[in-house]
Structures are given as C-alpha cells and as structure tokens.
Structure 1
Amino acid sequence: MKQRTRIVSIIFMTFLLGSVIAFLLYSSEDPHWGGGFWEEWLARHFDWPQEFISQLVFNVRKSMHFTGYGGIGLLFWAYFYLWRLPFPQGAGLLATAAVASLDEYTQSFATFRSGQPQDVLLDICGALAIGLIVRLVLARRKPRRPGSY
C-alpha cells in the first residue's frame, strides 16, 4: 500500500472509530436505546405476551452486543494494521475491550440502563469470534506471504 493511501486510510479510520465511540456514548445516555423503551413499543404495537417481548428484546440486545463489538473489533484490527503494529488483531481486541468497558461504565450512570460486566465479556467474545472467523476466511482465500496478516 502506498504511503499516501495509508495515511488517508488512517485519517478516515480515525474519524470512523471516533464516530462509533461517540455514538456508543450518546446511546448510553438516550432512553430510546434502553431495553424498556423497545419492550413498551412492542407491547403497544403487537399482541404478544410480555414474557415473550422481554425475552425477544433481551436476545436482540445481546446479539447486537456480540455482532456490533465484533464489527468494532474488525475496525480496530484494520486501524492498527494500517499503523503497521506487530499484532494488530490483539491490539484491536484490547481496544475493543477498552471501548466496551467505557460504554458499560457510562451506562451505569443512566437511570434506564445498567452497566453489566457480563456485557463487556460478551463484547470481547464477539470481537474475538468474529476476528477469528475473518482470519480463517482470509487464510483460506490466499496463501500467506511473510509479514502479512
């Protein structure tokens, strides 16, 4: 990759990751992102049992934690790869863990949200699992060159 392209990519990724982190912090303070809001909305619009609605919202929220932070982990992996760090996937996992911890810490101050240590573990597992899947797919698609990731 040419130096100029790499620098432009780093600038773009910095903006993208900053936007994602800002969104996470914003959503921690907005009541519309809490599970209670969506449970009430579903109860008003659908004639489903409350237990089903609660379980549905819970499962969707936890799935979003897993896949969303998996995507954030990939973004960090690419970001640190552009910086040519020796272990970009590991650095991406650590950065994802830091953002997940910050997000849960921020949520612990909102009255309608609760910061859960289990969510941080779920976020890290999502980043690890999706990172490993992508790494396996990349390894199968082309032969590895020395020094490539």
Structure 2
Amino acid sequence: MSGVHPYLRMNGNGQEAVKFYEEALNAEVVGVQTFGEMPSNPEFPLPEEAKHRVMHAMLKVGDTVLMLSDTFPGDAYQLGNQVDVALILDEVSQSKAAFEKLQVGGDVLMPLQETPWSPSYGQVKDKFGVTWQISTEVKR
C-alpha cells in the first residue's frame, strides 16, 4: 500500500462519513479504529466523548485508498483544512528522509515516532501549508 493517499479529517462525524463514503463510492471498508480502542494511558485519560470517534479508517475505492479520522475533542477544526496527504513508505529510513526534507521551512505537528500502527509515524506541515502524515508500513 505504499504511496500517496488522501486523508480526510472529520469533526466528530467520522463514523457517519465512513458509512457515507462506503455507499457513495461503493468502497470496501478495510478497517475502522476508534480512540477508545487504543491502549489506555493513565497519564492521559481518554475523555468519554473521544471513545467512539474514529482514530483511523481506511476504505478501498477501486485500486486506491481513502483514509480518514476525527479530530480529538477540543482540537481545532477549520473548514478548508480537512484534507491531508498520507505518505506511506516501506522503510523507516525512507520515512525519516522524507520527514526531514518536508519539514524544511515548515512546522512539525507530531515528531516522527513509533506508534501502535507504525514503527515510524509523524505529521509535518510543509512550507506551502500542506499537512503530510508520514508513516512506515513494514512488509511482513
């Protein structure tokens, strides 16, 4: 699945959006994970209103992939900024190189780090205002 994919940001209506795009685009829902399904962290208790919000969803539309997630309660949501670009690479070294180059003149939104879904994931807004979600998908 390596490549560049659209990543939509919803404002609490991610579950509804998944159903809508599944029907409207005749998409196959590959997976939906909510914030409530993440391992708990006592240092950062999860607010009740976040538990059913979509942390990550993936839909297959023909030969392409559409991804989406909800904002976390309290995070800013601005119309016009609902689309990110997800860059998925096969090697951690590729992710690090792309992240370092895209951050020049831009802003790091989330440092590149290991997550439950990727050995190397981060978010950066480049100098043109485009938000990139960079992830490594290790082939098994």
Shorter chain as denominator, the TM-score bin is: under 0.3
Larger radius of gyration: 1
TM-score by length of 1: 0.25
With normalisation by structure 2, the TM-score equals: 0.26
Could you say which structure has the higher helix fraction? 1
